[in-house]
C-alpha cells in the first residue's frame, strides 16, 4: 500500500512537472509569437514611414521645382520690366536730345538772322550816311 502511495505521489509529481514544462513551452511560444508580431509590426511601420518619407521628398521636389519655375518666371518678368524701362528711358533721352538740338538749331538760326539783320541795318545806315554826305557835298559845290 505504501508502495502504491509513493508511486502515486511520484506520478503526481511527474504530472505536475510535465504540466509545468507544458505551461513554460506555451509561455515561450506566446512570447515568441508576440515578439514576431511586434517585429512584423515595426517592419510594417518602418515601410510606411519610408513610403511616407519618399512621398514627402517627392512632394518637396515637386514644390521645389514649382518654386524654381515661379522664381524663374518672376526673374524673367523683372528682367523684361527693367529692359522695357531702360528702352523707354533711352527713347525719352533720345527725344530730349533731339528737342534740345532742334531748339539749339533754332536759337543759332535766330542769332544768325539777328546778326545778318544788324549787318544789313549797319550797311544801310552806312549807305544812308554816304548818300547824305554826297548830298551835302553836292549842296556845297
Dihedral sign from CA coordinates of 35, 40, 45, 50: positive
Tell me the pTM. Answer: 0.41
Q: How does pLDDT run across 13-57, given as a tens digit for each residue?
A: 999 999 999 999 999 999 999 999 999 999 999 999 999 999 989
Nearest C-alpha neighbor of 119 from the set 108, 130, 127: 127
What would the mean pLDDT of 50-70 be, rounded to a whole number?
Answer: 90
Taking every pair of Cα atoms in the chain, the longest distance, rounded to a whole number of angstroms, is 204
Q: How far is the C-alpha of 27 from the C-alpha of 32, rounded, in Å?
A: 9
* H helix runs in 1-141, sequence order: 2-140
What would the mean pLDDT of 97-118 be, rounded to a whole number?
Answer: 95
- Identify the residue whose cell numbers are 500500500: 1
Q: pLDDT band at 141, cuts 50/70/90?
A: low
- Burial readout 105-125 (b: 16 or more C-beta within 10 A, e: otherwise): eeeeeeeeeeeeeeeeeeeee
Question: Does the pLDDT of residue 140 top 80, yes or no?
Answer: no
What would the mean pLDDT of 107-127 be, rounded to a whole number?
Answer: 94
What would the mean pLDDT of 100-121 be, rounded to a whole number?
Answer: 94
Q: What are 106's three cell numbers?
A: 533754332
Amino acid at each position: 500500500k505504501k508502495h502504491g502511495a509513493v508511486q502515486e505521489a511520484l506520478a503526481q509529481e511527474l504530472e505536475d512537472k510535465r504540466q509545468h514544462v507544458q505551461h513554460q513551452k506555451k509561455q515561450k511560444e506566446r512570447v515568441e509569437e508576440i515578439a514576431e508580431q511586434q517585429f512584423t509590426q515595426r517592419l510594417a511601420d518602418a515601410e510606411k514611414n519610408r513610403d511616407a518619407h519618399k512621398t514627402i521628398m517627392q512632394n518637396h521636389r515637386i514644390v521645389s521645382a514649382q518654386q524654381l519655375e515661379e522664381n524663374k518666371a518672376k526673374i524673367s518678368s523683372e528682367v523684361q520690366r527693367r529692359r522695357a524701362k531702360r528702352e523707354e528711358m533711352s527713347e525719352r533721352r533720345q527725344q530730349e536730345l533731339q528737342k534740345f538740338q532742334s531748339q539749339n538749331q533754332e536759337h543759332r538760326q535766330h542769332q544768325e538772322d539777328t546778326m545778318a539783320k544788324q549787318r544789313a541795318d549797319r550797311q544801310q545806315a552806312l549807305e544812308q550816311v554816304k548818300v547824305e554826305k554826297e548830298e551835302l557835298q553836292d549842296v556845297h559845290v
